[in-house]
């Protein structure tokens, strides 16, 4: 089973940038779709972005389109989420997860969740 560890979260001012990383153990990372989700206090976990196993296809929530970029380096077993032009409403715990489904954007299509990394955007 692949295990995931997120990092790169922190406190940033509105308009700033952060780059999240998702490090995967195991040798099968490259066969999974990778997704990023986030959960703010009192809210449901929501889809942020996903990338196909090859990196050829990417999907974004409307709320982050044009500001966030998902990528992966299968040779390093690591995925990334570059977040630019951050807004206070982006404040949440960010999670990465893996799915066997090629176009997965729903949380129930994913398993093997990491522990999450906190992103806080101040106004």
Q: What is the pLDDT of residues 15-53, one digit of tens each?
A: 999 999 999 997 789 999 999 999 999 999 999 999 999
DSSP codes of every residue in 28-45: -GGGSEEEEEEE-TTS--
Question: Encoding tokens for residue 92?
Answer: 């949440």
pLDDT band per the 50, 70, 90 thresholds, residue 103: confident
pLDDT band per the 50, 70, 90 thresholds, residue 109: very high
What are the residues facing 37 on neighbouring strands? 47, 95
pLDDT at 28: 87
Q: Identify the DSSP state of 55.
A: S
To the nearest whole percent, how much of the chain has pLDDT over 90? 89
| R_g of the chain, CA atoms, integer Å | 13
């Amino acid at each position: 089973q692949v295990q995931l560890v997120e990092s790169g979260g922190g406190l940033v001012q509105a308009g700033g940038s952060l780059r999240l990383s998702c490090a995967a153990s195991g040798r099968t990372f490259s066969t999974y779709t990778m997704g990023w989700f986030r959960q703010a206090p009192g809210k449901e976990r929501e889809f942020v972005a996903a990338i196909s196993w090859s990196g050829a296809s990417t999907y974004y929530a409307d709320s982050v389109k044009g500001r966030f970029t998902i990528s992966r380096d299968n040779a390093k077993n690591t995925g990334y989420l570059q977040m630019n032009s951050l807004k206070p409403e982006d404040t949440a715990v960010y999670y990465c997860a893996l799915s066997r489904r090629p176009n997965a954007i729903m949380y129930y299509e994913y398993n093997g969740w990491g522990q999450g990394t906190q992103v806080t955007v101040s106004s």
